[in-house]
């Protein structure tokens, strides 16, 4: 694949559109099979969540790229400095070559194909490494892609450990990884040995800040949804909430009520997704037990000792009040339906709390006071922000998606993905009428005249 990417011409517009159409048919022809494969991997995955959070987003991304690809591929005019006129500058997008994608398990379809869409639109060949935690999905994707694509265009690997071990160390022209910060560091290290540029979509502890001006009922409903979508197994889910101390107990009760309203108390509820593995389930149990042992108050809308919760590998929605720095739940990304709610004295303390930690992948602010909102936006740095809701900045196809610092590097989505997976090559077209020859020796007095001119223009 690497050799062919160097020896064959870059695919033209028609060829790229054809590849995007074939990728769409991979999903369209196998919608129900993908839903079944993903639920088999999770134990249970809400079919509605797979449809709206994965399949529909993939279709939207392909539709957007198809509509705008001709414009994206067109060389861009760039201003030319006065002293070089009438020469021209252009910025010419070219495919990088071969893009590797290391995909996560939590939104296996969407977070695999969304970066692949950008890479294909940019004219690259793509090799995809699915997560070993979703073997049913990985096998189906490998089969479906293999039916529509030559292996030199798009290739899906297996999930065996020996393949996964060295994937990040292959000599890609670009590598995309979505996953944990810990593994992201290892991926970046492996890629660095080949000087392979990387886009890292990581995670971290994304805060939700409740301003004193917020509507608590509205905020509780929207945070409950943002936290419990995919049972909290979402990299941009609100990881903890900062709320004015006087409203802490009332807000927590409102969130618990919304959790009960949305998903009830029956673990067999088809709308509520299972935790992906026994190991992840045990990790969540450990986080809650550690917090309780250290004095936190645990609120749950359902009885956690109901045996069917564990039998269905569904973790009961859980609120933690009184969480402290010593608790594991405040030291690592939760990635499950567990939500610490912390009280703050004022907005300044909330901002300071966020800024004392790694920069998050997402930040959520709830309130009506514009000046308070703008202060949080100005004084915090995060991958993305949704105001008065959760998650929806991710769905904005004209906006980039990406982290900052420990939550990631680089961006994708729409044109941003096209640019990430392209080399934007600057090209200077010299004009025969330009006096650049004045720069050549012998220098004499002409250099002094040229220097004077350039100083006047600077």
Beta carbons within 8 Å of 248's beta carbon, 6+ residues apart: 321, 341, 342, 343
CA dihedral 362, 365, 370, 374 (to 10 degrees): -30
What does the domain layout of the chain look like in residue ranges?
Answer: 2-202+407-424, 207-401
Instruction: Flag whether pLDDT at 439 surpasses 80.
Output: no
- Rounded Cα distance, 174 and 99, in Å: 5
Instruction: Flag whether pLDDT at 313 surpasses 70.
Output: yes
CB 119 within 8 A of CB 417: yes
Rg (CA), the chain: 25
Rounded to two decimals, the pTM is: 0.94
Percent of the residues in the chain that have a pLDDT greater than 70, as a whole number = 97
Give catalytic residues, as residue numbers.
201
Instruction: Flag whether pLDDT at 165 surpasses 80.
Output: no
- 2-202+407-424 and 207-401 share one CATH topology? no
Residue 448's Cβ-count burial label (10 Å; 0-12, 13-18, 19+) is: exposed
In the prediction, which pLDDT does 307 show? 81
- Whether domain 207-401 has CATH 3.40.640.10: no
Tokens for 418? 């096209």
- Model confidence pLDDT, tens digit, residues 297-308: 999 977 767 788
Mean pLDDT over the full length of the chain: 94
In the prediction, which pLDDT does 96 show? 97
| 70-99 mean pLDDT | 94
When pLDDT is cut at 50, 70 and 90, the band that residue 76 belongs to is very high
Instruction: Flag whether pLDDT at 450 surpasses 60.
Output: yes
Q: Which of 10-14, 79-83, 322-326 has the lowest mean pLDDT?
A: 79-83
- Whether domain 2-202+407-424 has CATH 3.40.605.10: yes
- Model confidence pLDDT, tens digit, residues 139-163: 999 999 999 999 999 999 986 655 5
């Amino acid at each position: 694949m690497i050799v062919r990417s160097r020896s064959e011409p870059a695919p033209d517009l028609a060829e790229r559109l054809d590849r995007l159409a074939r990728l769409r048919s991979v999903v369209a022809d196998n919608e129900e099979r993908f839903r079944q494969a993903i639920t088999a991997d999770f134990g249970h995955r809400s079919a509605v969540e797979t449809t709206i959070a994965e399949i529909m987003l993939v279709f939207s991304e392909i539709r957007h790229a198809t509509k705008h690809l001709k414009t994206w591929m067109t060389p861009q005019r760039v201003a030319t400095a006065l002293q070089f006129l009438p020469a021209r500058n252009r910025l010419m997008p070219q495919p990088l070559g071969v893009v590797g994608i290391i995909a996560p398990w939590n939104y296996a379809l969407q977070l695999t194909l969304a970066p692949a869409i950008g890479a294909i639109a940019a004219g690259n060949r793509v090799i995809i490494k699915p997560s070993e935690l979703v073997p049913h999905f990985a096998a189906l994707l490998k089969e479906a892609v293999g039916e529509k694509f030559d292996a030199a265009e798009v290739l899906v690997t297996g999930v065996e450990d020996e393949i996964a071990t060295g994937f990040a160390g292959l000599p890609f022209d670009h590598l995309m990884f979505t996953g944990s910060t810990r593994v992201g560091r290892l991926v970046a290290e492996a890629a660095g040995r080949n000087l392979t540029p990387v886009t890292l979509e990581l995670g971290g502890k994304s805060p939700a800040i409740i301003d004193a001006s917020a509507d608590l009922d509205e905020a509780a409903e929207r945070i409950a949804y943002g936290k419990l979508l995919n049972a909290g197994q979402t990299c941009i889910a609100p990881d903890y909430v900062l709320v004015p101390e006087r409203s802490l107990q009332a807000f927590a009760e409102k969130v618990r009520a919304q959790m009960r309203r949305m998903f009830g108390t029956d673990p067999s509820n088809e709308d509520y997704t299972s935790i992906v593995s026994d190991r992840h389930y045990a990790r969540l149990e450990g986080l809650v037990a550690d917090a309780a042992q250290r004095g936190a108050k645990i609120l749950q809308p359902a009885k956690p000792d109901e045996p069917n919760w564990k039998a269905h590998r569904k973790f009961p929605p859980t609120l933690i009040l009184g969480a402290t720095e010593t608790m594991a739940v405040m030291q690592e990304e939760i990635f499950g339906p567990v939500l610490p709610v912390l009280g703050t004295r004022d907005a300044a303390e909330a901002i300071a709390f966020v800024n004392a930690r790694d920069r998050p992948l997402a930040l959520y602010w709830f309130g009506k006071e514009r000046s308070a909102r703008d202060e949080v936006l100005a004084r915090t740095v995060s991958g993305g922000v949704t105001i008065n809701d959760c998650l929806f900045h991710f769905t904005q196809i004209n906006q980039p998606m990406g982290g900052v610092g420990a939550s990631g590097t680089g961006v994708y989505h729409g044109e941003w993905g096209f640019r990430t997976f392209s080399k934007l090559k600057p090209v200077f077209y010299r004009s025969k009428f330009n006096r650049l020859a004045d720069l050549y020796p012998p220098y004499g007095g002409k250099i002094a005249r040229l220097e004077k001119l350039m100083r006047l223009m600077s």
